[in-house]
Amino acid sequence: MSHDHFHNQAAIRVDLGAIFVSWELSLKMWLITSLSPGSGEKMSRHTAPAADGLTGLLARLSELRAKAKARTGWDYRVVLIMEAGLDGFWVHRALESEGVES
């Protein structure tokens, strides 16, 4: 195979047309990682106080959307994964009502 063939392959696909987010909940701090169009293969990592609640998460998702649009000129949907745990199902319903694929 040619050098160009290997050069054009990425370990993480960045051509899927969405912002992919993982969200790890804990009692004190939340970890939010994301992979956004226009940012190459770089995974972003952000922490937020759990006290910020769902409002803080939605603000972060809005920020990710705005940054992706500024880089590419396109609007992207958000696909979020998380462990449901004790609180996950109400969070899932709230995210879905905000247009976030959960």
Domain boundaries, the chain: 3-97
Question: Does the pLDDT of residue 2 top 90, yes or no?
Answer: no
Question: Does the pLDDT of residue 19 top 90, yes or no?
Answer: yes
pLDDT band at 1 (very low <50, low <70, confident <90, very high): very low
Q: What are phi and psi of 25, to 5 degrees?
A: -90, 140
Entry pTM: 0.77
Given a contact cutoff of 8 angstroms between Cβ atoms, the answer to whether 48 and 32 are in contact is yes
Question: Does the pLDDT of residue 14 top 60, yes or no?
Answer: no
Q: Taking the domain 3-97, which CATH number applies? A: 3.30.420
* pLDDT tens by residue, 29-87: 889 999 988 877 788 999 888 888 888 889 999 999 999 999 899 999 999 988 767 66
DSSP the chain: --HHHHHT--SS---SSEEEEEEE--SSEEEEEEE-TTSTTPPEEEEEEGGGHHHHHHHHHHHHHHHHHHHHS---EEEEEE--TTTHHHHHHHHHHTT-B-
